[in-house]
Amino acid sequence: MQYSLLMKILNRIVSVIIVGIIFYFLIANLITNWQKIPFDELRINIPDLFLSFLFLSVYFLIFIAGWKKIVKGLGESLSYKKGLWIVSTSQIAKYLPGGIWYTLGRVYLCKIEGMKGQIVFISIILETCFLMLTNMVLFLISISFLSDSQLLHPLISIAIIMALLLFLYPPLFNRLVDIMIRILKREPISLKLSYLRMLSYSLYFIGVWIAQIIGFFFLIRAIYPLEITHIFSVSAAYTLAWIVGFIVLFAPAGLGVREGVLTLILSAIMPTPLAIAISFISRVWITVFEVIVFFIGLLIRRKEREDKI
């Protein structure tokens, strides 16, 4: 028991050190190359900033609808209003180290509403699978459309995308989910979802990513006059930063890791110090939005309680 506790403490210390090193290099680069930022081109464009938050709202609403559909497909009922307050109030936990608190928080809140914890847990696994799959599809599409990209031929991208879509084939998908459930030591469950339904679920999460990417593009345009022709570079940066930040478990909500990946790719279309600044601003942007929806979720929950009384 003491050994396990010691290892957890050491993991936390290592995580903090690694994140700190990443931020140190980013901030040091920003300070050293401060003069390379094109201040004469920078501005504060309120309409674009408003649009960036508007598309974040669209992403969040589509996300709730997608999760609600998955829950329904698993045999549980969930109103849109309940789904909204549950997700909005539980998502703040993703900033805690470990990456599991967001899931546990949502499962706990769903149990309060009388939902089966096992069903909710499986729905989150499915949701995560759809998020990762659609993220990789959009990343491949994005880098295929980059005019100066020699990384991947469009035909190879298409072949990989088709292979990824095969993972939605129910027998294969069920096997993958079963492996994840065994790893997490949960009770097995039989998923009876058709391939057509799986594809329909994935469309929600394609919409989730497209809305976020457009919102991020408008966030950049609110600061720097970026041409629409760079939308695929922005898309590649955003999707890759998310997937890397998700995989790297030591960084809560991908802290530091996503900023590093965003800087790396955005540096191809803007000065590096500006890319670093935008990566930091994007963190503030998404955090402010999540804090806002957190309090909106609390208000919705309070209103529901008052209506019951």
Q: Give the separation between CA 213 and CA 236, rounded to whole angstroms.
A: 9
Give the per-residue pLDDT at 12. 59
Q: Give the separation between CA 99 and CA 247, rounded to whole angstroms.
A: 10
Give the per-residue pLDDT at 188. 65
Q: What is the pTM of this model?
A: 0.85
Q: Give the separation between CA 27 and CA 276, rounded to whole angstroms.
A: 8
Can you read off the two tokens belonging to residue 294? 């957190």
Give the per-residue pLDDT at 115. 85
Residue 63: partners with Cβ closer than 8 Å, 6 or more residues away: 87, 204, 205, 208
Mark residue 280 as left, alpha or beta (left: phi above 0; alpha: psi -120 to 50; beta: remaining).
alpha
Give the per-residue pLDDT at 94. 74
Q: Give CA separation, 127 vs 27, 181, 205, in Å.
A: 34, 14, 8
Give the per-residue pLDDT at 187. 67
Task: Count each helix (H run) and each strand (E run) in the chain, helices first.
Answer: 11, 0
Can you read off the two tokens belonging to residue 245? 């930040």
Sorted by where each begins, the domain ranges of the chain are 43-308
SS3 for 156-213, per residue? HHHHHHHHHHHCCCHHHHHHHHHHHHHHCCCCCCCCCCCHHHHHHHHHHHHHHHHHHH
Q: Exposed, middle or buried by CB within 10 Å (0-12, 13-18, 19+), for 307? A: exposed
Q: Give CA separation, 186 vs 28, 173, 179, 207, 302, in Å.
A: 45, 17, 10, 30, 32
Give the per-residue pLDDT at 74. 84
Q: Exposed, middle or buried by CB within 10 Å (0-12, 13-18, 19+), for 96? A: middle
For the beta carbon of residue 101, count every other beta carbon within 10 angstroms. Answer: 16
Residue 154: partners with Cβ closer than 8 Å, 6 or more residues away: 144
Give the per-residue pLDDT at 75. 83
Give the per-residue pLDDT at 131. 92
With residue 20 as reference, give the H or E element that holds it.
helix 2-32
Per-residue confidence in pLDDT tens, the chain, 309 aa: 455 556 555 655 666 666 667 766 777 777 777 777 787 888 889 999 999 999 999 999 999 999 999 998 888 888 888 889 899 988 877 766 555 777 788 888 888 888 888 888 888 888 988 999 899 989 988 888 775 555 566 667 777 777 777 777 777 777 777 777 776 666 666 677 788 888 889 999 999 999 999 999 999 999 999 999 899 999 999 999 988 888 776 566 667 788 888 998 999 899 989 999 999 999 899 999 999 999 998 888 888 777 666
Q: Name the residue among 226, 197, 177, 190 with its Cα closest to residue 52.
A: 226
